[in-house]
């Protein structure tokens, strides 16, 4: 029997995550039935659940992956860049892949309605907050961000703006002037 390489296993896992992301975005958590997950991933339920214990574990892995990607961007370029990236994805022509938005909205909804999920997610969401605060601390030490507001407050301000942007895009509201809004947000955090 041929052995499957680590790269092949990782590629299959990523195939499942990519298909699941699209499925959750299209149908929501409850609507992402096993049959729909099979169709979206192109794999059998046996293959899917070989990698993930259940649908909840699959969704959590997907949300974790998205949070890690965001934390990497924050560490390198800041939370405003994450918002610019989300805005750019939302401004692509009709038919754009907005699966990141579906995942983000499902996480928000489940945080509000599912205490068990909230407890499991708390540790994962901390990565984005830590990355934001560390970046702001480095920027403050370099004199690039205002020093009259504590870093913790600046971080919370940026996180609230992010949530507002996600809600705005989720409602399908016009995004024409949002680049200017993000410029204003960035200016509000920087040293005058």
pLDDT at residue 5 greater than cutoff 90: no
85, 73 Cβ separation under 8 angstroms: yes
8 vs 109: which has the higher pLDDT:
8
Cα 71 to Cα 125: distance, rounded to the nearest angstrom: 9
Tokens 């708390």 belong to which residue?
A: 122
Distance between alpha carbon 139 and the CA centroid of its chain, in Å? 23
What's the mean pLDDT in 72-82?
91
Distance from first CA to last CA of the chain, Å, rounded? 66
pTM equals 0.78
Question: What distances in angstroms separate CA 174 from CA 95, 169, 170, 179, one per listed residue?
Answer: 16, 8, 11, 12
Where do the domains of the chain lie, and which CATH numbers do they carry?
A: 55-189 (1.10.357.10)
Torsion of CA 171, 177, 179, 185, to 10 degrees: -90
Q: Which of 163, 185, 9, 138 is nearest to 86 (CA)?
A: 163
Segment 105-145, tens digit of pLDDT: 788 888 888 888 888 888 777 888 899 999 999 999 999 99
Q: What is the pLDDT of residue 1?
A: 57
Q: Which of 55, 54, 43, 36 is nearest to 15 (CA)?
A: 43
At residue 188, the 3 state secondary structure works out as helix
Distance between alpha carbon 191 and the CA centroid of its chain, in Å? 28
The mean pLDDT of the chain is 87
């Amino acid at each position: 029997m041929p052995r499957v390489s680590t790269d092949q296993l990782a590629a299959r896992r990523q195939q499942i995550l990519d298909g699941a992301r699209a499925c959750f975005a299209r149908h929501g958590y409850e609507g992402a039935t096993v049959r729909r997950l099979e169709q979206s991933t192109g794999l059998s339920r046996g293959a899917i659940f070989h990698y993930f214990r259940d649908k909840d574990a699959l969704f959590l892995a997907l949300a974790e992956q998205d949070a890690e990607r965001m934390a990497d961007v924050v560490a390198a370029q800041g939370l405003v860049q994450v918002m610019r990236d989300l805005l750019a994805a939302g401004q692509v022509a009709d038919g754009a892949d907005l699966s990141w938005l579906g995942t983000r909205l499902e996480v928000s909804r489940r945080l509000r309605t599912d205490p068990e999920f909230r407890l499991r997610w708390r540790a994962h969401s901390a990565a984005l907050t830590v990355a934001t605060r560390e970046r702001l601390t480095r920027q403050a030490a370099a004199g690039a961000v205002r020093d009259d507001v504590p870093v913790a407050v600046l971080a919370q301000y940026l996180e609230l703006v992010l949530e507002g942007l996600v809600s705005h895009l989720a409602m399908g509201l016009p995004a024409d002037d949002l680049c200017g809004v993000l410029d204003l947000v960035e200016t509000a955090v920087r040293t005058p």
